[in-house]
């Protein structure tokens, strides 16, 4: 619904003038995809990121470097 800027009465989306007072209504075409894209771009810059998934456990059968002997 279009809201009249002069009297505030709601009008049909295709109306060019207000049915109540005759004031001219905003008939500009809105590009909602562009508006949403701009909004998404500004919101993602400061948005918290999801935590990273932990790495997979290492295979216990894979040999690792030997550990040095403990000093006493």
Q: Residue 58: what pLDDT?
A: 65
The tens digit of pLDDT for each residue in 14-42 reads 899 999 999 999 887 777 777 777 777 77
Looking at residues 59-72, what average pLDDT do you find?
74
**Bridge partner residues of 2 (DSSP):** 11
Number of Cα atoms under 13 Å in the Cβ half of residue 19:
10
Q: Residue 62: what pLDDT?
A: 65
Who has greater pLDDT, 11 or 53? 11
* Fold of the 2-39 domain: SH3 type barrels. (2.30.30)
pTM here is 0.40
The tens digit of pLDDT for each residue in 45-61 reads 555 666 666 776 666 67
| Nearest to 2, CA basis, from 19, 33, 15 | 15
Query: Hey, is 17 helix, strand or coil?
Result: strand
Write down the domain spans for the chain.
2-39
């Amino acid at each position: 619904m279009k809201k009249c800027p002069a009297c505030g009465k709601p009008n049909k989306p295709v109306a060019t003038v207000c049915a109540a007072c005759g004031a001219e209504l905003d008939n500009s075409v809105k590009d909602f995809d562009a508006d949403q894209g701009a909004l998404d771009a500004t919101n993602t810059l400061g948005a918290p990121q999801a935590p990273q998934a932990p790495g997979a456990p290492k295979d216990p059968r894979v040999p690792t470097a030997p550990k040095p002997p403990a000093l006493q």
